[in-house]
Amino acid sequence: MSECAHSLFISDLHLCDSRPQISRLFFDFLETRARSAEALYILGDLFESWVGDDEDTALSRSVVGALRRLSDSGVAVYLMHGNRDFFLAQQFADASGARLLADPTLLDLYGQPTLLMHGDTLCTDDRSYLAFRAQVRDPAWQTGFLAQPLAVRRTMAQQARSQSEHAKQEKTAAIMDVNHQAVIEILREYAYPRLIHGHTHRPARHVLEVDGHASERWVLQDWYDSGGYLHCDAAGCSAHPLTCPEPDPH
């Protein structure tokens, strides 16, 4: 299956210094499985947080270098914003060789219309999150945020993450999942494509019928404790888990 033309999809890696095993898994994935693909699509939340393209940490430099090597090898790399890394911008894209994707993006994937999303806008029952999303996506708010020193932005991001984790404890699992009617409406709007998204951390394949049309919805694996990717070619899509490599004893 890997010998035919195919593309790979990942999301919700949440790369950070506190989970080095996931970073190692990601770098191994880029050097092995991703090298045989036509394209790699990263559908949001590559990083646990990203407060501007002036980020300059050992991890960010390693990620940029690894993506650039993949891109230079001939694999097209596409990057969509998530709810944690929406400040990734053209400077990062230019350095890594990635191309930024709008959310949503519709493409012809080996003859199958396929809609790509991060997935957070489908969670319409989580009204407090959508209000927060609208605030931080406002251009005036972003301009003010990016005008702050890098250290201040990092502190603000840490505070926002802590508040988010606290808020999640007050919410039911259903509220944080996609709204079925929102899924129906987006599929109807884009003429019943296959849908691929992340965000919810509930990996699965769903088959549903909308207005007499069969549609497929793939939810991507998160990379908190392990990882995974979606392999798509002309025959369809299949999900594949990844296991973290054993730590180097030295």
**Under DSSP, is residue 132 helix (H, G, I), strand (E, B) or coil?**
helix
Q: Is 199 annotated as a binding residue?
A: yes
> What is the rounded distance in angstroms from the CA atom of residue 183 to the CA atom of residue 217?
9
Q: Is 179 annotated as a binding residue?
A: no
CA angle 103, 195, 221 (to 5 degrees): 90
Q: Is 99 annotated as a binding residue?
A: no
Q: Cβ contacts of residue 18 below 8 Å, gap of 6+? A: none
Q: Is 56 annotated as a binding residue?
A: no
Q: Is 14 annotated as a binding residue?
A: yes
Q: Is 81 annotated as a binding residue?
A: no
Q: Is 126 annotated as a binding residue?
A: yes
Q: Is 231 annotated as a binding residue?
A: no
Q: Is 168 annotated as a binding residue?
A: yes
> What is the rounded distance in angstroms from the CA atom of residue 145 to the CA atom of residue 167?
22
What's the order of all strands across the beta sheet hosting 213-219? 105-109, 112-116, 194-197, 213-219, 204-210
Axis crossing angle, helix 58-72 with helix 20-31, rounded to the nearest 10: 10
Instruction: Report phi then psi at 231, rounded to 5.
Output: -105, 125
Q: Cβ contacts of residue 121 below 8 Å, gap of 6+? A: 103, 130, 133, 182
Q: Is 137 annotated as a binding residue?
A: no
**Which of 66, 77, 72 has its CA nearest to residue 38?**
77
CA-based end-to-end distance of the chain: 36
Q: Tokens in use for 71?
A: 């891109």
Q: Is 164 annotated as a binding residue?
A: yes
Q: Is 7 annotated as a binding residue?
A: no
Known binding residues for substrate are 83-84, 126, 164, 168, 171, 199
Known binding residues are 12, 14, 45, 83-84, 118, 126, 164, 168, 171, 199, 201
Known binding residues for Mn(2+) are 12, 14, 45, 83, 118, 199, 201
